[in-house]
Chain A
Amino acid sequence: MVSRIHFRPWQILGLKLLIHSLCIGWAGTTYYQAVTDQLGGDPVKAILHFTGISAFNLLLMSLCMSPLAKYFRQAQFIRFRRLLGLYAFLFAILHLLSYLLFELQLEWGMLISEIIKRPYITVGMIAWLLLMVLTLTSTQSIQRKLGRRWQKLHNWVYLAACLIALHYIWSVKSDIVQPALYIAMLAVLLGLRKDKLLKPLQAIRRKISTRA
């Protein structure tokens, strides 16, 4: 029997403040170190890796919230899900901006040709666009307006997460240990939702069998 967790309003506020200050503080400190040349031999590479991996971490944390809510039978966990997801996209914005600004040094033609030519950048860009759509439709008023379709739309987050994992493992030279660990974590989080994720497949199967 799992003991029930209950957050008081000030605890929720406190946790949200903690998430805000950790994300902003962490990003601020790391960028400061990069600008002042305290981030190793290649600060550009370091900042790209930092922003990318932080975005992925936050997205995975956001995907932890509904399983936690189910496990502890406490819907309050859902209240952190959007905040974590929004910070995931914020780091994704920093990732893309840093790539454009420091890696490509605003060579726009190169950006376009790299997105087309490099599969790992293509999938990263698709994931980025998906996260952008989810961010733009994350307000409560849009959620109310879209009703059941909102959940359907936001199920695209699973595809985005898979594309990010692919983007990561595809970008490394041969040190696949860390990306492989991330893929394992993502697999667990998707595994917890297997009924939901397999539903469309079952619907198709049913259609085929009724036709036959």
Chain B
Amino acid sequence: MLIKVPKASQCSENDVTDEAIYLKRRQLLKQMGFIGAGALLAGSPGVQAINLFGDDDETAFNTRELTYSQQDSAQTLTPESKVISHNNFYEFGTDKTDPKENAQGLNVDPWQLRVDGLVEKPFTLGFEDLFSSFELQERIYRMRCVEAWSMVIPWIGIPLQSLLNRAAPLSKGKYVAFETLYDPEQMPGQRNPFIGGGIDYPYVEGLRLDEAMHPLTILAVGLYGKSLPPQNGAPIRLVVPWKYGFKSIKSIVSIRLVEKQPPTSWNLLAANEYGFYANVNPNVDHPRWSQARERRITKGGLFSSNRIDTQLFNGYDEVAPLYRGMDLKRFY
């Protein structure tokens, strides 16, 4: 049993920046006129010395502050501490806490993201390119896991559309296939099927081209103002907010335009439970559990548990035209 005795230096829940303040941070910084001063301080050795007394064993992985255009939202965000500690990333183990424990050493720089297949202009992005090639935008999205829990996460990323347009898809390309890094030395779940939950690695995912080109679909490189920690899919991951979370593939190294519907990992593992489309749908249950409701992960313990109705397409009705005329019970 784990009896948690917090260190004196450790942040407690009430130390975490309140979301209301977080959302106003730019305004606050401007009011204080500190943007320039902060930038000067960031590189100074004094700051690093102070940081020695900070919580640096918690975040062995270095994230960086990002510059991006901000989005306003009335939704209550899931606290950052939960967004980065409750993850499914089976490459690092199947428990929700495993990815945070086991992924901190992931080496993301250098990184290569290859964009190719049925495109006119294939290209490769290196680690720095991920942050500098496109303008970064904040997107506050609901994330609904197929296990019936959900979060609200302030992602930072780029529309997948922009990246695909740069590659200039050929008309033969009808689907987009994604692939996660395959590196058994760094990813224990890929070395050992007992750790990796029996998935045949590398993890692969796919979208229809019109889904990939939809303005809601993004490639995220950060959350809560900083670049992604490894457990959330550093350095770049997909976010498709109207689909179950497993579609939003992490730590991507390859994006390919293809002609036929590509294989997808969970569908390969259990086709009767996980379809290619995997759109959030309260009317189509998982064979073993209901999808009618979800538990929204917010701050607070057992008694603030927050069970809400699940919405079709996770509430993103604007994607409905993509599936007009399709039987969503068959194409789940």
Which of B4, B285, B288, B299 lies in contact with A38, CB distance below 8 A? B4
CA A44 to CA B194, docked complex, whole Å: 25
Separation of A170 and B4 alpha carbons in the complex (Å): 31
For window 163-205 of B, CB contacts with A under 8 Å fall at: 194, 197-199
On chain B, the residues within 8 Å of A119 by CB distance are 288
Closest CB of chain A to B144's CB: distance in Å?
14
Q: Are B301 and A174 in contact (CB under 8 A)?
A: no
Residues of A contacting B290 in the complex (Cβ-Cβ under 8 angstroms): 110, 114, 117-118
B85 lies within 8 A of chain A by Cβ: yes
Residues B301 and A170 in contact, CB atoms below 8 Å apart: no
Specify which chain A residues have a CB less than 8 angstroms from the CB of B42 in the assembled complex. none
Of chain B, the residue at the smallest CB distance from A34 is B302
**A41 adjacent to B96 (CB under 8 Å):** yes
Question: Chain A interface mostly helix, strand, loop or mixed?
Answer: helix
Contact of B147 among A34, A38, A104, A173 (CB under 8 A): A173
Stretch at the interface among A7-15, A24-32, A82-90: A24-32
Contacts of B293 in A (CB 8 A): 110
In chain A, positions 34-50 with a C-beta closer than 8 Å to chain B are: 34-45, 47
Among A35, A39, A40, A174, the one with the most B-chain Cβ atoms within 10 Å of its Cβ is A174
Is the Cβ of A34 less than 8 Å from the Cβ of B1? no
- Chain A residue at minimum C-beta to C-beta distance from B84: A41
* Interchain CA distance A28-B3 in the complex, whole Å: 12
A29-B3, A105-B307 as given contacts; A34 in contact with B301, CB under 8 Å = yes
With an 8 A cutoff between CB atoms, is B13 at the interface?
yes
- Give chain A residues whose Cβ lies under 8 Å from the Cβ of B114: none
Instruction: Closest B residue to A172 by CB, please name it.
Output: B94
**Does B53 interact with chain A (Cβ within 8 Å)?**
no
Asked whether A41 lies within 8 Å of B85 as measured between CB atoms, the reply is yes
Nearest CB in chain A: distance from B274 CB, A:
9
Q: If the complex has contacts A29-B3, A37-B301, are A175 and B288 also in contact, measured as CB distance less than 8 A? A: no
State the CA gap A33–B180 with chains docked (Å).
Answer: 35
B214 proximal to A (CB < 8 A): no
In the bound complex, residues from chain A placing their C-beta under 8 Å from that of B254 are none
Q: A176 interface residue, CB < 8 Å from B? A: yes
Determine if B85 and A30 form an interchain contact, defined as CB atoms under 8 angstroms apart. no
| Shortest Cβ gap from B197 to chain A (Å) | 5
Interface residues of A (CB under 8 A from B): 26, 29-31, 33-45, 47, 102-105, 110, 114, 117-120, 170-171, 173-177
Told that A29-B1, A30-B1 touch, could you supply 15 new A-B pairs with CB distance under 8 A? A29-B3, A33-B4, A37-B300, A38-B4, A41-B82, A41-B86, A41-B297, A43-B305, A102-B302, A103-B307, A104-B307, A117-B290, A118-B288, A118-B290, A119-B288
